[in-house]
């Protein structure tokens, strides 16, 4: 039985819209940037589907699994947005992009380790779904996540500030 609450509705909506964007990019896109942007949308879709499944399960073992699956998407989001910005602009430092991929691989391995470095426990919240208690490595991961996304936005803003015409308008759409 599907249990609808704001968490599951949000997750399902995110999944459906992002899958549509992935399909549009695959069908119409011809360049590397379309492929990387599809990967970004796929990672958001994985996160959304994971959230939907988390909200629909009351069995802790299944919920634990879906939290880990949802974080496949979460871990890769900043990497793919940074890579997209790298392809759009000349502002992204390639070493930072390589670091983004390396840290994502590291945290992806940590996410699926049997010991709990990412998540410690589950707790039932709002009488609706189980939410994770964060482990010791989640905070450094989240800090890197924020820094990479912030760096991508700074790079796109720098390119926007020196661009004109249609390029400037395109970058504005991407920025917001």
Q: What is the predicted pLDDT for the residue at 42? A: 98
Name the band, by pLDDT with cuts 50, 70 and 90, for residue 145. very high
Token pair 């634990």: residue: 64
The average confidence (pLDDT) of the chain is: 93
Compute how many other C-beta atoms are within 10 angstroms of the C-beta atom of residue 70. Answer: 22
Cα separation of 55 and 70, whole Å?
Answer: 12
Does 176 score more than 80 pLDDT? no
Long-range pairs for 162-171: beta carbons < 8 A, 24 or more residues apart: 171/88, 171/89
Name the band, by pLDDT with cuts 50, 70 and 90, for residue 121. confident
pTM (2 decimals)? Answer: 0.91
Per-residue pLDDT of 51-78, as tens digits, reads: 999 999 888 899 999 999 999 999 999 9
Name the band, by pLDDT with cuts 50, 70 and 90, for residue 116. confident
What are the extents of the domains in the chain?
6-175
Rounded to 5, what percent of the chain is helix, strand, coil? Answer: 75, 5, 20
Q: What is the predicted pLDDT for the residue at 173? A: 87
Q: What is the predicted pLDDT for the residue at 2? A: 78
Contact 11, 55 (CB under 8 A): yes
Name the band, by pLDDT with cuts 50, 70 and 90, for residue 114. confident
Does 1 score more than 80 pLDDT? no
Cα separation of 63 and 128, whole Å?
Answer: 12
Name the band, by pLDDT with cuts 50, 70 and 90, for residue 49. very high
CB-side neighbour CA atoms (13 Å) of 62: 10
């Amino acid at each position: 039985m599907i249990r609808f609450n704001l968490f599951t509705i949000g997750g399902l909506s995110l999944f459906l819209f992002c899958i549509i964007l992935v399909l549009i990019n695959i069908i119409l896109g011809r360049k590397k940037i379309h492929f990387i942007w599809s990967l970004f949308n796929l990672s958001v879709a994985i996160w959304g589907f994971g959230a939907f499944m988390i909200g629909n399960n009351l069995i802790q073992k299944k919920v634990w699994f879906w939290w880990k699956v949802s974080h496949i998407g979460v871990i890769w989001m900043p990497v793919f947005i940074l890579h997209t910005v790298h392809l759009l602009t000349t502002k992204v430092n390639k070493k930072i992009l390589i670091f983004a991929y390396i840290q994502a691989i590291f945290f992806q391995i940590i996410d699926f380790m049997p010991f709990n470095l990412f998540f410690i426990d589950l707790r039932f919240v709002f009488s609706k779904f189980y939410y994770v208690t964060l482990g010791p490595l989640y905070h450094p991961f989240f800090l890197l996540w924020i820094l990479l996304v912030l760096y991508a936005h700074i790079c796109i803003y720098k390119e926007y500030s020196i661009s004109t015409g249609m390029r400037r308008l395109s970058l504005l759409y991407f920025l917001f």
